[in-house]
Amino acid sequence: MSEPETQHGTGRIGAQLLVEHLEAQGVEHIFAIPGAKIDRLLDVLHGAKPRLTVCRHEQNAGLIASGIGRMTGRAGVCLVTSGPGCSNLVTALATATYEGDPVVALGGAVPLAARHKLTHQTLDTVNLFRPVTKLSIEIDSGQTVSEVLAGAFRAAESGRPGAAFVSLPADIMEGPTSTANLAPSRPPRLGPGDAETIAEAARLINGASRPVLLLGMLASDPLHAAAVRRLLKAAPLPVTCTFQGAGVVSRELLGCFAGRVGLFHNTPADEVLDAADVVVTVGFNPIEYDPSAWNRGASRPIVHLDVVPAEIDADYRPAVEVIGDVADSIDALIPQLRPTPSLEGHAALDAVAKLVAATRAKAATLDGTPIHPLRLIHELQEILTDDMTVICDVGSIYIWMCRHFYAYQPRRFLASNGQQTMGVALPWAIAACLVRPGEKVVSMSGDGAFLMSAMELETAVRLKCNLVHLVWRDGSFDMVKIQQLAKYGRETAVELGPVDVLKYAEAFGATGLAIRTPADIAPTLRRALEIPGPVLIDVPVDYSDNASLVRAVRADAVA
């Protein structure tokens, strides 16, 4: 890396030390929107090891970085300029923090001497980001550049992962520094939880007649998922998971699986969870599925197994908290569990299996147009392989997919659950194409969520991302509509204008395809999977059965 010329003469500057630290952290990608307050840093990044990708909106740059974090466990990095460049990141960083995705966001800032003046693009970004990050900090000296960056990566990746924000005053990036690059240090592994609490957890599980595992977002970490599978093989237990816990239960363990729970308390898996006399939560955060929806008034003990203590509220007060590395804690628990018989003949699980089979059989016969969500999901399930990455946006599409699309590998089916952030699917699909090169990625949005991030189709084309993105089109914000109808008997402010998905794809240099009838689904999907680069597929959907998604929701549950 060449020595840049500064106002102080030739020498090492803050921007160069920052880039050296990013290289030492092993950062491979930086997602950016350029601007004057970060132009020195962009200049230093020219020719550096991290690949710099210019995005079309700061929120999407943050979402792509969070997708990197979700799929790798290492912090994704985004870089934006001052003022609105930073404020446009808030949604992405809130999503990352509340959904456990490590991100380090770098934001330009006015020079230190001007930060308290009403000058162009001045903004107190450190305080702006504090509520939605694990760490929000400003580099106020060239001597602390590497120290602050090391702390930001550690905060983002340790414990329950999340976002860290670092403000970069322009004069610090331009100014000299004489400090060495601080070698990054990975967060330490905690080891298993306290032996006494693990023994108490085992006692509760062994003494229960109807114990149930509830798997949350951290259970889907590949190391944690492997430990859960070891537990289920040694001591089969009924399992439910939140939408972010998808993929932990493998095909061979499907006999343990009651299905996913979340949002509305009206699924077969909810019935299995309701009947439990002990609930063991693994990597669960209440933001995934509000305890007031599944545990209000329940007296059964809860075992909380996680890297962080429980967020206590009136409906979530664990009897035992096993705090430590999730995989190590599970492995310490397994030998203390009493061997249990096979779950074959388990009445509740058998009922779930029969309902799933009946639903799939019905789905295959739904031949109407527009296309019923169950038919579309049935065809996707038949064509897509277990090792493909499937990403679902938020809306009615998210409820249908999270309930009915089965995944068998951890972090291969991705959805925004804690914040329910619309527009995540296309940015996360771009991230998946970078993290898993050579694989085809399938993502999908409703037409409402699609246009919240659709400008990044140009980024996907530029990067030659091999992705297929389905747009479930019905012309409304339907997830809002169905709840309005259930509450008030009418809908307000939810209708959208038409979108020509094929012309949109063409305008950006992508391939556009259309599905018009159920008979088109399989051949169109197969064709799309063979086409290099981004492919958009327009699918008109029939949401007339959407009332069933909320019909049984408990009146006092929180959505």
Question: Is residue 65 one of the residues assigned to a domain?
Answer: yes
pLDDT of residue 3: 52
- Do 307 and 426 have their domain in common? no
Q: What is the CATH number of the domain that holds 254?
A: 3.40.50.1220
pLDDT of residue 9: 44
Count of domains for the chain: 3
Task: Supply the range of the domain harboring residue 428.
Answer: 364-550
Only one residue has tokens 């456990």, namely 100
The DSSP symbol for 177 reads -
- Confidence at residue 485, expressed as pLDDT on a 0 to 100 scale: 86
Same domain, 14 and 152: yes
Looking at the fold, whether 301 and 435 belong to one and the same domain comes out as no
With 0-12 / 13-18 / 19 or more C-beta atoms within 10 angstroms meaning exposed / middle / buried, residue 494 is middle
Whether 410 and 340 map to the same domain: the answer is: no
Residue found under tokens 């999901």: 377
Strand order in the sheet with 135-138: 51-54, 29-32, 76-80, 103-109, 163-169, 135-138
**Judgement on whether residues 412 and 459 belong to the same structural domain of the protein:** yes
74 found inside a domain: yes
Backbone angles phi, psi at 282, to 5 degrees: -120, 115
Count, in order, helices (H) and strands (E) of the chain.
Answer: 23, 20
Q: Clarify whether residues 247 and 337 are in a common domain.
A: yes
Residue 23 lies in a domain: yes
- Return d(Cα 395, Cα 473) in angstroms, integer: 11
367 burial level (CB within 10 Å; 0-12, 13-18, 19+): exposed
Question: Per-10-residue mean pLDDT for the chain, 559 residues long?
Answer: 47 94 97 96 95 98 98 98 96 98 97 78 92 97 95 96 97 93 85 97 96 97 97 96 96 94 90 95 96 92 97 94 98 93 83 91 94 97 96 94 95 94 98 96 96 97 98 89 87 90 98 97 98 98 88 47
Residues 6+ apart with CB under 8 A from 481: 491, 494, 546
Q: Are residues 415 and 457 in the same domain?
A: yes
200 and 312 inside one domain: yes
554 Cβ partners below 8 Å, 6+ apart? 265, 293
**183 within domain boundaries:** no
> Does the residue 185 lie in any domain?
no
Instruction: Give the model's pLDDT for residue 182.
Output: 86
Amino acid at 203: R
Taking residue 540's Cβ as centre, other Cβ atoms within 10 Å add up to 17
Residue at 357 is within a domain: no
Q: For tokens 């509000």, name the residue.
A: 290
Alpha carbons 424 and 439: distance in angstroms, whole number: 19
**Beta-strand relationship, 5-6 and 9-10:** antiparallel
- Same domain as 334, residue 247: yes
CA distance 408 to 531: 26
Domain with 394 in it: what CATH number? 3.40.50.970
In a domain, 457, yes or no: yes
Q: What is the pLDDT of residue 153?
A: 97
The pTM for the full model equals 0.95
Which residue among 347, 375, 404 closes a domain? 347
Backbone angle region of 411, left / alpha / beta, with phi > 0 → left and psi within -120 to 50 → alpha: left
Q: Where does a domain end: 320, 347, 374? A: 347
CA gap 522, 382 in Å, rounded: 9
d(CA 310, CA 304): 7
Q: Which of 174, 204, 236 is the last residue of a domain?
A: 174
User: Measured between alpha carbons, how far is 452 from 60 in angstroms, rounded to an integer?
Assistant: 9
